[in-house]
Amino acid sequence: ETIKQQAARGFRLISNIHKLSQMEKDQLNLHKIEVCDLLKTAINFVKTPLQDTVTFKISSSFTEYYIFANNLLQDVFENLLINAVVHNENPLIEISIKVSEMHKGKKNYLKMEFMDNGIGIDDIRKKSLFKLKTINPTNGKSMGFGLFLVKNLVDSYKGEIWVEDKVKGDHSKGSNFILLIPKAV
C-alpha cells in the first residue's frame, strides 16, 4: 500500500509541476466555465475510494455559476478536498461546501467555502500556507506544493483564497478555505 501511495504522490507532484510550468508560460487560456459540474467531478474523484468514511454536503442557492477560468479549476477543488481528507483524524470526515454570491467593490464574485471537521490550522501556519515549501528528503513528503498551485491558479482567475477557522477562535474544530472568483457576465 505504501508503494502505491508514494507512486500516487510522485505522480501528483510531477503533474503539479507541469501545471505550474504551464502557468508560468502563460498558456492558461481562460474561458467562461460552469463551476458546479467541475465541483461535482472533483467530489466524485475524492469520494470514490472513500465511500463510507467521507460525507459531502453542498449548499447553494443556484444550480449554475459561471466564471472565467479553465479546467484546472477542478484541480483547485481536488486539492482542497484531498487536504480536507488527509488532514483529518475523525472516523467520519465531513466536508461542507457553501456556494454563494458576494458583492465586493464594483464586482460580483462567486464565493465558495470548503469547511471540514479536520485537525485545523493554527494561526502561525495560516500565514505561510500558500507559499511554496520544499520536499522533506527523509520521508519524501512535499508540504504546501498543492496549496501553492491552488493559490497561483486562483490568482490567475483574478480571485482570492484564504483560510479561516471553521469555528471562529478555535482552529482545532476544522478549517474553512474561502475562494472568491469574479463571476462571468
Per-residue tens of pLDDT for the chain, all 185 residues:
455 555 665 666 667 666 666 665 555 688 999 999 999 999 988 887 777 789 999 999 888 899 999 888 998 999 999 999 989 999 999 999 999 999 999 999 999 999 999 999 999 999 889 987 655 555 555 555 789 889 989 999 999 999 999 999 999 999 999 999 999 98
The architecture in CATH of the region 29-182 reads 2-Layer Sandwich (3.30)
pTM greater than the 0.75 cutoff? yes
Residue type, 121: I
Q: Is 110 helix (H, G, I), strand (E, B) or coil?
A: strand
Cα(9)–Cα(14) distance, integer angstroms? 9
Domain ranges of the chain: 29-182
